[in-house]
């Protein structure tokens, strides 16, 4: 494929650092995920025409399909491997073969509530009250480091959940003095728990003492010409380094919007560029959709901590606007949404079945999707008690967590109605002014509101003449694009549903010669107008009261109507 100016400009911005890159097609779908020690060198190789002759058919097909790409910088190679695995599992790119299955990297877990706790290896994190460490990119290193840790802190490695004297007779760990044998009372449970906590500190990175011991012993072995022993100690140091290497934890991406690895960091950046006092936890986005003044609808999407909160999506059908006027539609939507929300805040009531933030028609599919999203959103990868709290939905209250770019928890959305921290309208100054006028009339002018224009991705702010223009790769702009694109998708989906409903309900009435009796007979036979349109003429003619000529005319009429609707579709 020819290298476009867009691709060329993005390549010049890719850093010479380790990370993960994502190739996307013209629909914005992720089609390939890869990792690299040097992102600039690796990504640019895809766009070298001189290399094309050596590529196989699959690689040529991948390059031809690339319309855009994105990248995420990490600190080291193991971190890039972990992130690549997570993204491949989340997006299932069609050009990736490896890492698409359900296999996971190793974790270490320990349950302090067991009678005699022990460290074990696992690949699946559960909500069982255990402490989890990992995942670890190098399985061999973590296995050898676990053996080293057991010997250093005299921890048990036997399998029984509650070992006793009978198990000790055949236990190599106890007989070789690698374990303090709490099963036969050599130490009390409290003394053994102190050993376990020392192992936990070891996994958390407090390894300076052990590292110094191994290095000193390695040097002594080298001076004594015991090179094999020195090599073993060198490998043990490397295993120790790999196991206790600090790697970033990447939470599961529960939706297929443009890629966001650090939603919290994007929120902080957005708050900074907009001059907000704090990052906007709740963002509500609005968009208008209509076809030549018909089927005028609007959508409201809600993002909580940078993630879609589908249970609070709403859709609106215009009531007071009778002709095509996006500004008037935006004004009506804002007025209906927030006038109702103000009433609910005053009375403290929410209509049953409409969620915390009402003001429009709730989408049943969105409510069901929200349940699935919440269960996936709480699937973090960070070890320690905070992960356990997140797994059961406990909201952390430690203010220091605000500095973590990827916290392992997402606070639950409020159960009571509340005002958003930021309002985003799809459009320029006209839509923004219409929204601001309605908010001021409701006494809500203190809520920050901005407009995002599609053409040049300009951010319009009230009272500021010049728009704010951020780079296309700016994280704050990417977050706004996710909100805007989701509101656009939701509005267009509702518009299409209304048009389809219109066709299904009334198209048979518009065909001459079809009365209620024959209409009911057709619907009983085929179930819907869509199935009727796809049915052969012979099947339609077999319905009592219809002849072959009428059936053919009806078939042609239905096909023509659907084609007409498709040609007139759009925003």
Q: What is the DSSP string of 106-174?
A: EEEEE-TTSSS---EEES---SSS-EEEEEES-HHHHHHHHHHHHHHHT----S-SS--HHHHTT-HHH
pLDDT category of residue 506 using cuts at 50, 70 and 90: low
Position 524 pLDDT exceeds 80:
no
User: Taking a C-beta distance cutoff of 8 angstroms, is the pair 334, 289 a contact?
Assistant: no
Beta bridge partners of 316: 298
Phi, psi of 50 (to 5 degrees): -65, -20
Strand partners, 20: 35, 72
CA distances from 316 to 282, 308, 396 (A): 20, 19, 35
CB contact burial 287-316 (16+ within 10 A = b; e otherwise): bbbbbeeebbbbbbbbbbbbbbbbbbbbbb
Task: Give 369-429 as a 3 state SS string.
Answer: HHHHHHHHHCCCCCCCHHHHHHHCCCCCCCHHHHHCCCCCCCCCCCCCCCCCCEEEEECCH
Q: What is the pLDDT at residue 275?
A: 92
Distance of CA 249 to CAs 31, 70, 72, 261, 382, Å? 23, 19, 14, 10, 6
Task: Extract the tokens encoding 57.
Answer: 């058919």
Domain 507-568, CATH 1.10.150.20 — does that match?
yes
- Residues 28/68, Cβ–Cβ less than 8 Å: yes
For residue 274, pLDDT over 90 is answered with yes
**Taking 90 as the threshold, does the pLDDT of residue 438 lie above it?**
yes
Count of CB atoms situated within 10 Å of the CB of 555: 19
Burial class from Cβ neighbours inside 10 Å (0-12, 13-18, 19+) for residue 489 reads: middle
DSSP, collapsed to helix, strand or coil, labels residue 36 as: strand
Q: Which pLDDT score is estimated for 338?
A: 93
Nearest to 450 by CA among 407, 486, 475, 481: 481
Whole-number percent of the chain with pLDDT over 70: 76
Average pLDDT over residues 138-166: 77
Residue 384 has what pLDDT? 36
- Edge-to-edge strand order for the sheet containing 68-73? 30-36, 19-24, 68-73
> Cα–Cα distance between 261 and 306 in angstroms, integer?
10
What is the per-residue pLDDT for 328?
92
- pLDDT of residue 294 exceeding 90, the answer is no
Tell me, what's the pLDDT at 272? 93
Q: Which residues of 343-354 are buried (b: 16+ CB within 10 A; e: fewer)?
A: ebeeeeebeeeb
**Which tokens is 379 given?**
């699937």
The pair of structure tokens assigned to 159 is 């399998």
Distance CA 571, CA 568 (A): 10
How many helices (H) and strands (E) would you count in the chain? 20, 15
DSSP secondary structure, 4-27, as one string:
-HHHHHHHTT--SS-EEEEEE-TT
Per-residue pLDDT band for 285 (boundaries 50, 70, 90) equals very high
Give the CATH number of domain 265-380+410-498: 3.30.420.340
pLDDT score of 495 more than 80: no
Question: How high is the pLDDT of residue 435?
Answer: 94
The arithmetic mean of pLDDT across residues 540-544, rounded, is 85
Q: Which of 67-81, 230-244, 267-281 has the lowest mean pLDDT?
A: 230-244
CB neighbours of residue 240 within 10 Å:
20
Q: Compute φ and ψ for 22, nearest 5 degrees.
A: -130, 120
Mean pLDDT of 520-530: 77
Minimum mean pLDDT among 199-213, 521-535, 543-557: which range? 199-213
What's the rounded Cα separation, in Å, for the pair 62 and 366? 33
Residues 424-440: what's their mean pLDDT?
Answer: 93
Per DSSP, the three-state class of 318 is coil
| 461-481 burial code (b ≥16 CB/10 A, e <16) | bbeeeebbebeeebbbbbbbb
The pLDDT, as a whole number, for residue 507 is: 67
CB 72 within 8 A of CB 39: no
Q: Which CATH superfamily is domain 5-91 in?
A: GIY-YIG endonuclease (3.40.1440.10)
Tokens representing 279 are 């990052």
Q: Average pLDDT in the 274-296 region?
A: 85
> Where do the domains of the chain lie?
5-91, 106-243, 265-380+410-498, 507-568
pLDDT recorded at residue 216: 81
**How far is the C-alpha of 426 from the C-alpha of 286, rounded, in Å?**
6
- pLDDT at residue number 482: 87
* pLDDT computed for residue 461 by the predictor: 94
Average pLDDT of the residues of the chain: 76
pLDDT, tens digit, 9 for 90 and up, residues 46-73: 888 777 667 778 888 888 888 888 888 8
């Amino acid at each position: 494929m020819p290298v476009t100016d867009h691709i060329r400009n993005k390549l010049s911005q890719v850093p010479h650092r380790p990370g993960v890159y994502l190739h996307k097609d013209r629909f914005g779908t992720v089609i390939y995920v890869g990792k690299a020690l040097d992102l600039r060198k690796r990504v640019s190789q895809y766009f070298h025409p001189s290399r094309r002759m050596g590529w196989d058919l699959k690689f040529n097909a991948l390059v031809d399909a690339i319309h855009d790409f994105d990248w995420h910088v990490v600190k080291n190679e193991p971190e890039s491997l972990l992130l690549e695995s997570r993204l491949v599992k989340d997006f299932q790119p069609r050009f990736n073969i490896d890492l698409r299955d359900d296999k996971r990297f190793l974790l270490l877990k320990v349950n302090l509530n067991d009678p005699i706790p022990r460290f074990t290896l696992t690949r699946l994190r559960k909500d069982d009250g255990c402490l989890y460490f990992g995942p670890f990119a190098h399985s061999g290193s973590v296995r050898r480091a676990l053996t080293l840790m057991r010997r250093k802190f005299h921890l048990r490695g036997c399998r029984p959940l509650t070992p006793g004297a009978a198990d000790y007779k055949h236990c190599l760990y106890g007989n070789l003095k690698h374990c303090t044998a709490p099963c036969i009372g050599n130490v009390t449970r409290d003394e053994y728990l102190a050993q376990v906590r020392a192992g936990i500190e070891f996994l958390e990175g407090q390894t300076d003492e052990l590292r110094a011991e191994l290095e000193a012993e390695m040097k002594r072995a080298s001076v004594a010409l015991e090179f094999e022993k020195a090599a073993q100690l060198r490998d043990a140091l490397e295993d120790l380094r790999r196991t206790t290497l600090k790697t970033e934890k990447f939470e599961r991406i529960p939706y297929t919007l443009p890629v966001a690895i650090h939603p919290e960091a994007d929120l902080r950046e957005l708050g900074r560029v907009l001059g907000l006092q704090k990052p906007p936890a709740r963002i509500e986005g609005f968009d208008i959709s209509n076809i030549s003044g018909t089927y005028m609808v609007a959508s409201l999407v809600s993002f909580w901590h940078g993630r879609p909160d589908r249970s609070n999506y709403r859709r609106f059908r215009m009531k007071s606007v009778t002709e095509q006027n996006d500004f008037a539609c935006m004004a009506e939507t804002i007025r209906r949404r927030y006038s109702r929300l103000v009433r609910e805040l005053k009375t403290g009531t929410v209509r049953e079945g409409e969620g915390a933030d009402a003001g429009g028609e709730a989408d049943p599919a969105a409510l069901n999707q929200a349940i699935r999203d919440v269960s996936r959103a709480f699937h973090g990868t960070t070890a320690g008690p905070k992960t356990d709290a997140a797994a059961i939905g406990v909201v952390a209250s430690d203010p220091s967590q605000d500095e973590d770019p990827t916290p392992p928890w997402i606070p639950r959305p409020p159960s009571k109605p509340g005002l958003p921290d930021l309002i985003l309208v799809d459009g320029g100054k006209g839509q923004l002014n219409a929204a601001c006028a309605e908010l001021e009339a409701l006494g809500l002018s203190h809520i920050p509101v901005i407009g995002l224009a599609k053409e040049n991705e300009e951010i319009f702010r009230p009272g500021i003449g010049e728009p704010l223009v951020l780079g296309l790769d700016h994280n704050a702009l990417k977050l706004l694009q996710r909100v805007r694109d989701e509101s656009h998708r939701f509005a267009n989906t509702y518009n299409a549903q209304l048009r389809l409903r219109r066709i299904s309900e009334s198209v048979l009435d518009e065909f001459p010669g079809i009365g209620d009796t024959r209409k009911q007979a057709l619907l009983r036979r085929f179930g819907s107008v869509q199935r009727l349109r796809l049915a052969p003429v012979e099947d339609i003619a077999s319905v009592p009261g219809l002849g072959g000529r009428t059936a053919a005319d009806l078939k042609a009429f239905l096909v023509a109507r659907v084609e007409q609707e498709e040609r007139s579709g759009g925003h």
